[in-house]
Amino acid sequence: MTAALPNLPALTPDDALNAICPYWTMFPLDFPLGALADGRPGEWVLDPFCGRGTTLFAARKLQMPSVGIDSNLVAVAIAQAKLVSPRPASIVRLAGELLDGPAAREPQGEFWRWAYSPAVLQALCRLRAGLIGREDAVAVGLRGVLLGCLHGQRNKRAASYLSNQMPRTYATKPAGAVRFWRARAMSPPELDVLEVIARHARRRYGRAPAPVPGAVRLGEAAQALAGMRRRFDWVITSPPYPGMATYRPDGWLRGWLLGGPPAPDYDRAGQLGALRGELFIAGLARVWRATAARCRPGARLFVRFGALPSGRGGDPGELLLSSLRLAGGWEVRSLRCAGVPPGNGARQAGQLPGAGEHVPEVDLLALRAG
Model pTM?
0.90
CA–CA gap between residue 55 and residue 261 (Å, rounded):
29
pLDDT at 370: 82
The domains of the chain are located at 13-84+212-368, 88-205
pLDDT at 311: 54
**pLDDT digits (tens), the chain, 370 positions:** 333 334 444 546 668 999 999 887 678 999 999 999 999 999 999 999 999 999 999 999 999 999 999 999 999 999 999 999 999 999 999 999 999 999 999 999 999 999 999 999 999 999 999 999 999 999 999 999 999 999 999 877 788 999 999 999 999 999 999 999 999 999 999 999 999 999 999 999 999 999 999 999 999 999 999 999 999 999 999 999 887 777 888 999 999 999 999 999 888 777 787 777 899 999 999 999 999 999 999 999 999 998 876 556 689 999 999 999 999 999 999 999 987 655 444 434 344 444 445 678 999 999 999 8
pLDDT at 145: 98
Buried/exposed code over 188-214 (b: 16+ C-beta within 10 A; e: otherwise): bbebebeebbbbbbbbbbeebbeebeb
Whether residue 81 contacts residue 143, with contact meaning beta carbons closer than 8 Å, is answered with: yes
Angle value at C-alpha 225, between 16 and 208, nearest 5 degrees: 15
Give the containing element (helix H, strand E) for 97.
helix 88-99
Whether residue 361 contacts residue 341, with contact meaning beta carbons closer than 8 Å, is answered with: yes
Whether residue 214 contacts residue 65, with contact meaning beta carbons closer than 8 Å, is answered with: yes
pLDDT at 344: 41
CA–CA gap between residue 138 and residue 63 (Å, rounded):
21
CA–CA gap between residue 367 and residue 370 (Å, rounded):
9
pLDDT at 343: 47
pLDDT at 353: 41
**13-84+212-368: in CATH 3.30.2130.30:** no
pLDDT at 272: 84
